[in-house]
């Protein structure tokens, strides 16, 4: 059975597990995400706030860039709605730091709001996951994170999954010849046919939907 554990798919020569920094103010969610990640063979550091996350990364000006125990962080998964610093604000801080902007950041949210998803992706989030997060989400994330490292410059990894679309933004401007699962048009740019085919990943599981990143940032 395909476990796609992080340890299995790492490039040859690397025996390190991925170290994930999980940020969520909910105790229950931290426990669950921690388990999801551990089962996927990751090392996990779970913290309760953006401030703590920055502290761990050393971005609060206190320590060096490797975190308290010297473990490099390979992925950051953060809840969106948190008191104090939101996941979005944390994302921005990370992407604006020279030391950590390369670390993929995944946003998790119980609310499937298009503008929110747009903003996060625009700020450089790797993915936007709708909560509750499933094991299949994490497994896919592990594959993507590793593939992303191997295939630099390939846009295939950037997408949104588990989008259950609300009414109005659905399907309107997709060309009928597209064989990809429908995704909402961007609110600021026309949804061009070539963009759809070049940026969306075609081998997607049927339940998830892809969204082209139409705003060129990187």
Residues near other proteins (CB under 8 A) are 1, 3, 25-29, 31-32, 35-36, 39, 81, 110, 131-132, 134-135
- Write down how long the chain is: 218
Three-state DSSP at 167 gives helix
Q: How far is the CB of 105 from other proteins (least distance, A)?
A: 20
Spell out the residues 6+ positions from residue 59 whose beta carbon is closer than 8 angstroms to its own: 93, 94, 97, 99, 100
If the CB atoms of residues 141 and 196 are measured against other proteins, the closer one turns out to be: 141
CB of 175 to other proteins, least distance (A): 34
User: Closest approach of Cβ 79 to other proteins, in Å?
Assistant: 8
Q: Tell the burial category of 69 from Cβ atoms under 10 Å away from its Cβ (0-12, 13-18, 19+).
A: exposed
Strand partners, 44: 20
Q: Are strands 43-47 and 75-79 parallel, antiparallel or unpaired?
A: unpaired
Q: Which is nearer to other proteins, 3 or 180 (CB)?
A: 3
Find, among 122, 164, 126, the residue nearest to 144 by Cα: 126
Q: Give min distance, CB of 132 to other proteins, in A.
A: 5
Of the two residues 29 and 127, which places its CB atom closer to other proteins in the complex?
Answer: 29
Residue with tokens 């060096």: 64
Nearer to other proteins, 40 or 181 (CB): 40
């Amino acid at each position: 059975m395909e476990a796609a554990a992080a340890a299995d798919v790492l490039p040859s020569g690397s025996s390190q597990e991925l170290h994930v920094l999980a940020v969520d103010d909910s105790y229950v969610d931290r426990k669950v995400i921690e388990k999801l990640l551990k089962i996927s063979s990751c090392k996990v550091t779970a913290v309760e706030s953006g401030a703590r996350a920055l502290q761990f990364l050393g971005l609060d000006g206190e320590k060096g860039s490797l975190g308290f125990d010297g473990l490099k962080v390979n992925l950051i998964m953060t809840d969106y709605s948190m008191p104090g610093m939101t996941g979005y604000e944390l994302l921005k801080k990370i992407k604006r730091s020279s030391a950590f902007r390369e670390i993929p950041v995944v946003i998790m949210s119980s609310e499937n709001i298009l503008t929110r998803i747009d903003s996060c992706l625009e700020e450089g989030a790797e993915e936007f996951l709708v909560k509750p997060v499933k094991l299949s989400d994490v497994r896919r994330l592990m594959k993507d994170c590793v593939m992303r490292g191997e295939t630099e410059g390939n846009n295939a990894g950037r997408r949104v999954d588990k989008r259950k679309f609300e009414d109005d933004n659905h399907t309107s401007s997709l060309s009928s010849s597209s064989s990809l699962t429908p995704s909402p048009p961007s609110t600021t740019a026309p949804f061009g046919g070539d963009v759809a085919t070049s940026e969306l990943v075609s081998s997607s599981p049927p339940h998830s939907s892809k969204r082209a990143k139409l705003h060129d940032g990187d």
